[in-house]
Structure 1
Amino acid sequence: MADYQNLIPDIQNGILTLTINRPDKLNALNAATINEIKTAIEDAYDDKDIKGIIITGAGEKAFVAGADIKEIASLNAAYGRKFAEQGQEAFFSIENCAKPVIAAVNGFALGGGCELAMACHLRVATENAKFGQPEVNLGVIPGYGGTQRLTQLVGKGKALELMMTGDMISAQEAHKLGLVNHVVSDQNELVNKCHEILGKIISKAPLAVGMVINCVNAVFDPEEKGYQTEANSFSNCCKSEDFKEGTSAFLEKRKPEFKGA
């Protein structure tokens, strides 16, 4: 695995945990950190030892408190587009990963941090977590996909309210809105819950799990025909060894042993 300056990777029981390690900056995302996240995720695509991924932040104060304001302050119109597109590309690598990715949100998930969490397939938060897209306070808007993913997750009206006011919401409200899947009491429970969910997912057929992710993403891709994507994926599953194993195990009343093929 590559050497990182702002990211701590750790693999246990097939689960890769990526900890964003800039606690003195509340784990704010600068360009180098975003590139490291993209590299780590893409390296995990073909690593057979990695079955699932957790992304979290160092310390208890913040998952990611936002983008690095010093970098944003120096932007002009020309580089602004490139800045946004680079972040979007990195977060697409998370969203399109065929292996399940969970954001373990401890503390603030604001701006780019909220966008990072939303790019993950699932979100688990501690009770003290706070979510928000406060970019209007800086005279800009979310640029890493936040306008799109927040709307997908909570609906147009609430997304507009949150992005136009810049308000923060609690983990409990985020859960009610569907932004967060689970809320837990503290950081120990956060880790345990993420491992519990991933343990359940990675016990299933890997090809099928990856195709579920692809089909759900197709719902929001204007270039995809979601029902056709589903039918094609279902057909591909029927050709797999995992399909043969899963159906055989069911009929033989035993636990399946999936190989991801």
Structure 2
Amino acid sequence: MKVPISTTRLGSILLVTLQRPERANALSDELIGAIGDQIDEIERDTETRAVVVTGAGTTAFCAGADVRELVDLDEAAARAKMLHGQRVFRRLELLPLPVIAAVNGHALGGGLELAMACDLRIAARSARFGQPEIRLANVPGWGGTQRLPRLVGLGRATEMIFTGDLLSAEEACRIGLVNRVVADEQVTSEALALAERLAAYSTVALAGAKHAIHVGLDEGMTAGELAEAHAVATCCQTAAQRKAVTDFLNRRAAAHNHPTG
């Protein structure tokens, strides 16, 4: 049986690839389960410092839910399917390390919801983005109604969800849905380069920053600021932070003692 995802280790970076190109990497129950299993492995892994998620092929990062699995779902089964996907995407979102989506093609419906559960999104110029569930008389069910307004604002998110219209990569970047747009052939290499840059930073600092961001979004600014203070306090006890501060001060002292021109 074909495995629905593959992984490639590049030093401290883990490249995770959705492997259903014949179905535009559509999210079947099996694929959602495989993503959850991969998250289990990342949580146990001490080598990985950043993750890049992409799709096999050149046309789609992920075209959304596998529509064939939505046929004749009763109410309980539909709710359970959505809750399962929500739990998996939330676990991905809360991994204590950077997760970057290399959006190498269309990211639609559940595919956009998967990309939004990542921390950062690098898009191929040919990529398209949207929540077209309304065209199937449905609504986003894997976090789209929650993450999209947080990324692009209430008005634009509501328009995208109500109309099902698709955005170009450039427009998605302009409104803050993606972080940058690159040539199609460069999207994975750009995402990996960014992952490598982030992996060089303190894992404690990155995890603390990510945790504080999400606490603030979920519980409000007061809770977020408290999480922020705890993160700083933790960082200040690490050898990496103490060395960075000492090195910074030494560089300043050297520059002061040896002024140029």
The normalised TM-score by structure 1 is 0.92
Q: Give the equivalent residue in structure 1 for 2:201.
A: 204
> SS at the partner of 2:53?
strand
Q: CA deviation at 1:241?
A: 2.4
> SS at the partner of 1:248?
helix
Q: CA deviation at 1:70?
A: 1.1
Q: CA deviation at 1:4?
A: 7.3
> SS at the partner of 2:141?
coil
Question: Does residue 1:234 correspond to 2:232, yes or no?
Answer: yes
User: Where is the helix percentage greater, Structure 1 or Structure 2?
Assistant: 2
Q: Give the equivalent residue in structure 2 for 1:31.
A: 29
- Match for residue 44 of structure 1 among 31, 42, 45: 42
Q: Give the equivalent residue in structure 2 for 1:78.
A: 76
- Match for residue 20 of structure 1 among 11, 18, 21: 18
Cα distance between partner residues in 2 of 1:177 and 1:72:
31
Q: CA deviation at 1:222?
A: 2.8
Q: Give the equivalent residue in structure 2 for 1:166.
A: 164
| Runs (5+) with no aligned partner, structure 1 | 255-261
Larger Rg over CA atoms: 2
> SS at the partner of 2:126?
coil
The normalised TM-score by structure 2 is 0.92
> SS at the partner of 2:219?
coil
Q: Give the equivalent residue in structure 1 for 2:188.
A: 191
Q: Give the equivalent residue in structure 1 for 2:6.
A: 8
CA RMSD of aligned residues (A): 1.7
Question: Does residue 1:128 correspond to 2:134, yes or no?
Answer: no
Contact 1:123–1:182 at 8 Å: present in 2 too? Answer: yes
Alignment of 1:102-121 (within 5 A): 102-121=100-119
CA pair 203-145 structure 1, distance change in 2 beyond 3 A: same
> SS at the partner of 1:220?
helix
221-230 or 70-79, which moves further after superposition? 221-230
Cα distance between partner residues in 2 of 1:214 and 1:42:
19
Cα distance between partner residues in 2 of 1:229 and 1:4:
43
> SS at the partner of 2:58?
coil
44-53 or 208-217, which moves further after superposition? 44-53
